[in-house]
């Protein structure tokens, strides 16, 4: 509220530790009451970075499942619009094997939880990662037999780094057409709005502040002009002026680019 946001993304625990934060029903009730009393329209959880659904290491796999289930249960309890998840890393495995492993773990997590959506985020282009293209994300949704809880989060920096030139309305339209074709019309549920420190197709995940990177103000404005983004939470993951995340000026600058 202090920085003028109308949508927020949070971690449900430390993003670089396995130990889950323990909450009570009273904690959840206070959170929901605070949200209802605020101008905030959406809260999204980002799953912790340690999770790798494509791992074949038994210990890491168990920890990943438990952490993802915990995030989804917290999402249910606070009324989150979804839990954003990086689809996984190959770690030297064949891509098809990694996909099978990731699909299995995601299916287990959905089966052990109730209603919160799980949103697969497109990765930044490294061939060591899953979820590089709408087609690959669509194959993961297809494996889940059309489970309506599984959706997509699109990250502008990741798209650009993967070689998708979203600096024009036509370029963005092409990407969203692919998402609808491979994933379905109602699967896109969330947008991460980030500029990119590195050039088009660099395959590097390096976020930059709004308008200060290779996409730029005009490119991000073209990206946001996509009509199918209307009504979706748009979340900033930019470094911010002091490397502490976006502030009110960053939010105002992003909002000014929207149609």
Q: Is 237 a catalytic residue?
A: yes
Q: Is 143 a catalytic residue?
A: no
Check if the beta carbon of residue 117 is closer than 8 Å to that of residue 82. yes
pLDDT for 229: 97
Using alpha carbons, select from 75, 237, 233, 48 the residue that is nearest to residue 149: 75
Task: Go through the chain and tell me how many residues it has.
Answer: 259
Q: Is 49 a catalytic residue?
A: yes
pLDDT tens-place string over residues 29-73: 999 999 999 999 999 999 999 999 999 999 999 999 999 999 999
**Could you tell me which residues come within 8 angstroms of residue 224 by beta carbon, excluding any fewer than 6 positions away?**
193, 234, 257, 258, 259
Catalytic residue among 6, 108, 142, 237: 237
pLDDT tens-place string over residues 218-236: 999 999 999 999 999 999 9
Q: Which CATH class is domain 7-257?
A: alpha beta
Q: Is 46 a catalytic residue?
A: yes
Q: What are 132's two structure tokens?
A: 């590089």
Q: Is 121 a catalytic residue?
A: yes
Using alpha carbons, select from 5, 103, 120 the residue that is nearest to residue 61: 103
Catalytic residue among 61, 73, 121, 250: 121
User: Distance between CA 219 and CA 241 in Å, rounded?
Assistant: 20
Residue 217, CA distances (Å) to 158, 208, 211, 220, 251 in order:
17, 12, 4, 5, 13
pLDDT for 31: 98
Q: Is residue 146 predicted with pLDDT exceeding 80?
A: no
User: Distance between CA 259 and CA 257 in Å, rounded?
Assistant: 7
């Amino acid at each position: 509220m202090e920085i003028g946001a109308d949508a927020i993304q949070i971690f449900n625990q430390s993003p670089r530790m396995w130990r889950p934060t323990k909450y009570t029903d009273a904690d959840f009730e206070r959170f929901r009451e605070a949200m209802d009393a605020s101008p905030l329209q959406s809260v999204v959880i980002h799953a912790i970075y340690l999770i790798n659904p494509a791992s074949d290491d038994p210990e890491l796999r168990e920890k990943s499942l438990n952490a993802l289930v915990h995030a989804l249960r917290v999402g249910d309890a606070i009324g989150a619009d979804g839990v954003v998840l990086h689809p996984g890393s190959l770690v030297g495995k064949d891509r098809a094997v990694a996909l099978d492993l990731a699909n299995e773990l995601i299916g287990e997590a959905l089966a052990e939880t109730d209603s919160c959506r799980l949103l697969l985020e497109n990765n930044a282009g490294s061939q060591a990662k899953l979820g590089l293209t709408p087609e690959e994300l669509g194959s993961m949704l297809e494996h889940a037999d059309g489970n309506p809880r599984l959706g997509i989060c699109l990250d502008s920096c990741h798209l650009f780094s993967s070689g998708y030139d979203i600096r024009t309305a036509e370029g963005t339209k092409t990407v969203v057409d692919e998402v609808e074709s491979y994933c379905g019309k109602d699967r896109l549920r969330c947008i991460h709005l980030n500029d990119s420190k590195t050039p088009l197709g660099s395959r590097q995940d390096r976020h930059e502040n709004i308008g200060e990177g290779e996409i730029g103000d005009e490119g991000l404005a073209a990206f946001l002009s996509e009509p199918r983004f209307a009504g979706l939470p748009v979340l900033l993951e930019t470094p911010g002026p002091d490397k502490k995340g976006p502030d009110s000026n960053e939010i105002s600058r992003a909002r000014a680019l929207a149609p």
